[in-house]
Amino acid sequence: MQILINAKISPEHLDKIRAGFPGVEVLQAESAAEAVRLAQQAEVIVTWGHNFREEFLASPSLRWIHALSAGVEGLLLPPVVEGRILLSNSSGIHGIPIAEHTFALFLSFSRGLYRFGKYQAEKRWQRDVPLSELRGKTLGIVGLGRIGLEVARLGNAFGMRVLGVKRNPGQPPEGVNRVVSMEGLELVLKESDFLVLTVPLTPETRGLIGAKELALMKPTAILVNVARGETVDEAALAEALKNGVIAGAGLDVFATEPLPADSPLWQLDNCIITPHCAAQSPQYMSRATDLFCRNLDAYIKGEALPTLVNPQRGY
């Protein structure tokens, strides 16, 4: 069996895969052209969604694609959707850094850090800034996967009331006070002081938050998006921030990345922009390698892949 690593992975992590599976040939491409050549013999391709090339699909031996990210919208190609090629992702490894990034954004607003940074650049000593606490506030989490549950855990640590939105709600998981389906999103929008989006991008979640939804939120509410940029109508959000419909937004993801220079979001003092980096962590690739090895072990044994993607759902 040949595995093509279509990504930059350190020798340490490559060696870990090779040591765990001595009968498997693990190859790493150094260029796009080499990746296309090596893919022709590969049974498994490990890749980021953004650098997967459709030429890889010409490989007669390709049986499985493993994404190093959780989002797989760029990999839902016809052979995958039709079930001819398996697709797995790295769901579950992002919870800690993304949840911490989410709370960094929450605290930047509640403790006024987004204002103080500007004042420091102006050498301006100004103390009359409205500050607040997270304790006692309502946290709404749209998407209760592993990232959402880690956000909920931190919300509990800060003494927040936690509401969740989930496709199939069932009983509230530990640390979540109430869970509703997507049909109950309106309730969560109305009650949340802090709202975070952690959903995958699917037809159901594309454009999930627009002018209508923003108008339901409190004028003091903060919106954080660490999901996918296309889940939010950015033009409507910019207008809502400009006109005080909501108090602020922390955005790590955008419909077009990098965010175009002419986006009105750049000009808004009550919008914090981070460059799609919420998942970054020194531990990321170690976790991703461990998870791939778990999937590879299952694949070799003919068992179900732990993070197998349902192409119809998109996650």
The SS3 assignment for 271 reads: strand
Of residues 228, 230, 239, 303, which has the active-site annotation? 228
Taking the chain, what is the end-to-end CA distance rounded to the nearest angstrom? Answer: 26
Cα(94)–Cα(276) distance, rounded to whole angstroms?
A: 13
Whole-angstrom distance, CA of residue 294 vs CA of residue 292: 5
Specify whether the CB–CB gap between 224 and 195 falls below 8 A.
Answer: yes
For 53-79, give the DSSP string.
-GGGGG-TT--EEEESSS--GGG--HH
Q: Residue 30 has which token pair?
A: 């150094």
- Check if 12 is active-site: no
For 250, left (φ over 0), alpha (ψ -120 to 50), or beta?
A: beta
Could you give the strand order of the β-sheet that contains 44-47, starting from the edge strand earlier in sequence?
25-28, 2-6, 44-47, 64-67, 86-88
Query: 138-142 and 194-197: which strand pairing?
Result: parallel
Phi-psi region of 131 (alpha: psi -120 to 50; beta: other; left: phi over 0): beta
101 is catalytic: no
Residue 117's Cβ-side half-sphere holds a number of Cα atoms within 13 Å equal to 9
Among residues 255, 289, 315, which one has the least CA distance to residue 91?
315
Q: Which of 276, 287, 303, 313 is catalytic?
A: 276
Say how far apart CA 281 and CA 100 lie, in whole Å.
11
| Residue 257 is a catalytic residue | yes
Q: Name the catalytic one among 25, 133, 257, 303.
A: 257
Catalytic residues: 228, 257, 276
